[in-house]
Chains A and B, each alone.
Chain A
Amino acid sequence: MPVLHHGDLHLSLEPGETALDALLRAGVPVPNSCRAGACQSCRLRASSGDPPPASQVGLKPTQRERGYFLACLCRPESDLTIAVDDDPPQDAEVVAIEPLSVDVVRLRLRPLAPLVHRAGQFITLLRADGLARSYSLANLPGDDTLELHVRALPHGRMSQWIAHDLRPGDQLRIRGPEGDCFYTDGSPEQPLLLIGTGTGLAPLLGIARDALHRGHTGPITLLHGAVTPAGLYLVDVLKDMSRAHANFSYLRCALHGEAAEGLQIGGIEAVAAALHPKLAGHRVFLCGDPERVQALRKQCFLRGARMDQILADAFVTARPPV
């Protein structure tokens, strides 16, 4: 009989019993509603073992890859351990802090143990006093260091500290990775559209690098937007990428300022809409400002992108201290 591990519980499954039934039987309060794989309220994640494919129907490919499954459809054929708590934080050392623009720095960290992650996911930085903030990973898995883009917000407690006080050699703790906004294999010819504002570029850069690294052959378009052209950074790196890869194109836009080669002036939704009026068959990645992400998600969906082919990471910033 397969065994279901959940914290201190080790449940032997009855024949035909679902993971949801077994957990409820043991008194674990798993939220659930339709019990038919539709509402997804009983979604859980396996930290080890393989959930049956039938229990992953309807989930995003990125969620499937991370071990998510629907407990109501899960009749395990082998042992399964359910992720109960976050992974414990680990130590990382600051390798470099370099300016990328007027208010964005690149923070490079070396975790003491290699971090298993996908480009585009995010980690949470923990300062010694308990302050925690999440930042996306722009580097490729397997790189020596993690690359984060940090915008120094006017009242940002963590970001100001990173930009001004943190030094190479300092120690931080990190937790994660988390997030479903990353590239998955399986459709190498699919057109990819990556749209982001501000430091939303970090995960998109990671995703673009990862897709190219994994041999994606379909067109990859990256559109980076900012309020003014000064907010656009790594312009030369992205231009080099588009010269090096025939299927990668890079465009940028700013709300105010003067148009230039490869730089359009206008709102990012309008620029994106003119770029790709029809999105049926596209996979779309949206990162950055939550309002822009929400508006772009709706726009991309109405223009034909499938709901499960729109992956997004909205950056919610902490409220400034009063």
Chain B
Amino acid sequence: MSLYDELGGAPALDAAVDIFYRKVLSDDRIARFFDGVDMERQAAKQKGFLTMVLGGPNHYTGKDMRTGHAHLLAKGLNDSHVDAVIENLGATLAELGVSAEKIAEVAALANSVRDDVLSRDHKPAV
């Protein structure tokens, strides 16, 4: 059973998106990237992202993630901002009662899109 199903599937995800998006908008490190966006469309995109990282049904494509964030690279989007988003994701799941172990799994999945978000071809050497 995926974490997505454990949390209650699509209906439960609206609540999760609310918590997550509120954290992201309140986070001074990344809030500026969300200035002037259509909040409803943004929430729908975040729902898609959460569905994916929680193991729910999705048709994730790296291409969408690249085109969706390309304009933010010009605004200085970098690894530290991706870190902040993943941190907010973890805090959201903790608030929903998800265990630290499961949160680490979700963070790993979220990390897997990092290169697409930042339009990088190869993962940097660790």
Residues of A within 8 A of B (CB): 33-40, 57-58, 294, 297-298, 301-302, 306-308
Contact = CB atoms under 8 A, between A and B. Distances in A.
A301 B59 CA distance: 29
20 contacts: A33-B59, A33-B64, A36-B58, A36-B59, A37-B10, A38-B44, A38-B51, A38-B58, A39-B48, A58-B13, A58-B14, A298-B25, A301-B39, A306-B18, A307-B14, A307-B21, A307-B39, A307-B40, A307-B43, A308-B14
Nearest to B58: A34
A35 B56 CA distance: 11
B17 interface: yes
Interface size class of B (residues with CB under 8 A): 20 to 34
B57 A307 contact: no
A34 B50 CA distance: 12
Contact of B47 (A38, A298, A302, A306): A38
B71 interface: no
Contacts of A35: 57, 59
Given A58-B10, A307-B17, A40 B51 contact: no
By secondary structure, the B interface counts as helix
A39 B45 contact: yes
B26 interface: yes
Contacts of B10: 36-38, 57-58
Contacts of A34: 48, 51, 57-59
B8 to A, nearest CB: 11
A287 B45 CA distance: 24
Contacts of B48: 33-34, 38-39
B43 to A, nearest CB: 5
Given A58-B10, A58-B11, A308-B14, A39 B44 contact: yes
B22 interface: yes
